[in-house]
Each structure stands twice: as structure tokens, then as C-alpha cells.
Chains A and B, each alone.
Chain A
């Protein structure tokens, strides 16, 4: 249990350092990518490409194991249908992301970094998630 918590902490630390190094914590860098008709900043494409490439190779190696290193089992989302719920959720998320340039990970780092905007964004994000969770019941 303790080892699992330390491993999660360390995994989060590497992930969070990546968000900072790549400037994904700067919502204006993200908006610079999303604004294809403006002064386009390709940064996010490099970040996504590298993150997906590393994860794809590493996941393949890790999933050769029968189980995670610290016990338990792998929790992989089951392949499901591409339904209206998935697409509507993604579309709504995208509008919010495109308005502010914040997605959940970078905005949470912004909370710890004391970014004014993140402190406004995150409580609203938690409320929005809570409402969607209620409706789904």
C-alpha cells in the first residue's frame, strides 16, 4: 500500500515536471496552438507527439507483464462504442479548453504554482464534473 502510494507520487511528479518543462501550464502557449488562424505556435503538437510515442512503446512493454509491479491488476478501459455521450462530452470539453487554454492537468499544476487564473478555473471545473456525475446516475 505504502509502496503503491510512493510510486503514484513519483509517477505524478514525472508527469507534472513534463507539463511544466513543455510549458503546457502556460495557457497562452496552448491557445497559441489552438488558434490556427492566428500567430500559430506548434508547441503542443511536439508535446503530444513525444508523449504519445513514449507512452505507446512503454505501455506495450509494460503490458507484457501479467500484472503491475506492485500487485493488483491492470485497469485498462474496455474498448466500447463511439457513442453520443463520448462525442458530446469531448465536444463540450473542447469548447471549454479552447476558451481558456486550460485542461485539467496543467490547471491543477497552476493551483500549486499560485496562478490566479487556475484558482478561478479549478473550482468551476470541479463543479462541472460533479454536475455531470449527478446527471449520469
Chain B
């Protein structure tokens, strides 16, 4: 049930996508930075960002249609999702990266900054999940 095979296959594809982006246009595949630049960056620097995000969203959504386990009808509490979105947007902008930029690409480059960021967000994420699941929603 650990699902190591799809995990490794999907992870390898994520790595290949990141590699292809660096090889072709010389960019790091950090989604939070690509997205904020696509919305607020310099005009001449937006096209590749929009193209990358469009490819990711279309192919990701298409792949979900063909996978054996379709995404469950996920409906979480609106206030929780809004709070989480605000924190993720604010934190990734302030900390210059998320799970892809710091997590995948930064660790692959052996960046000490990214290693510090990953250790920090893994710890705070596990703490937040623990509080949600075992304190707030404790049976």
C-alpha cells in the first residue's frame, strides 16, 4: 500500500521535466517562483512561464483521467483551504521557493539554503498536520 512504484515513476518524471527545462531554456523548475513571475514579472519574461504552467496543468489533469485511481471528490472546509492558500502563497514568496524549487531542484544542486528551507518546511508542515489531526480533530 506504500505505492513505491508510482511514487518513483512519478518522481522520475518530475525530475525529467525539471531537467528538460534547464537544458532547453536554462531555468529552474520552481513552481511558486514561475507562477508569481507569470502573474507579476516583467512582460518579456512571462511567456515561458505561462507555457510551462499550461503544460503542467493540462498534462497533469489529462493524466489524472487515465490513472486507475481518479482523484476523490475532495471537499475540505473553505476557511481551512483559504488559510492554507494564504500561508503557502506568502511563505513561498518570502522564502523564495516551495517543494519543487527548494525541494527538488535545490536539493539536487546541493544548495545549503534549499536544504535549510526543506528541513524547515518539512518540520513546520508535520507540526501543523499533527496539530490538525491529533489536537484539533482529536477524537
Q: Which residues of A come within 8 Å of B, CB atoms?
A: 1, 4-28, 31, 34-38, 41-56, 58-59, 62-63, 65, 67-70, 72-77, 79-82, 85-117, 120-133, 135-136
Contacts and interface: CB of A to CB of B under 8 A. Distances in A.
Contact of B91 (A43, A89, A100, A122): A89
A102 B36 CA distance: 17
Contacts of B130: 35-37
Contacts of B63: 16-17, 20-21
Contacts of A85: 94-95
Interface residues of B, number: 109
B103 A97 contact: no
B93 A129 contact: yes
Contacts of A87: 95, 116-117, 120
Contacts of A42: 2, 4, 7
Given A11-B29, A15-B13, 15 more contacts: A1-B47, A9-B51, A15-B52, A20-B67, A38-B134, A46-B8, A67-B26, A79-B113, A90-B124, A95-B124, A105-B31, A113-B64, A116-B75, A126-B35, A128-B85
Contacts of B129: 31, 34-35, 98-99, 101
Contacts, number: 491
Contacts of B108: 52, 55-56, 59
A99 B100 CA distance: 18
A80 B54 CA distance: 31
A90 B121 contact: yes
A14 B26 CA distance: 16
B128 A98 contact: yes
B76 A117 contact: yes
A44 B25 CA distance: 28
B100 A46 contact: no
A101 B29 CA distance: 20
Interface in B1-22: 1-4, 6-22
Contact of B120 (A21, A79, A94, A132): A94
Given A23-B3, A97-B99, A127 B117 contact: no
Given A21-B63, A100-B80, A127-B89, A91 B11 contact: no
Contacts of A116: 73-75
B42 interface: no
B82 A75 contact: no
Nearest to B35: A104
A22 B9 contact: yes
Given A50-B15, A129-B32, A73 B91 contact: no
Given A51-B18, A85-B95, A109-B56, A18 B11 contact: yes
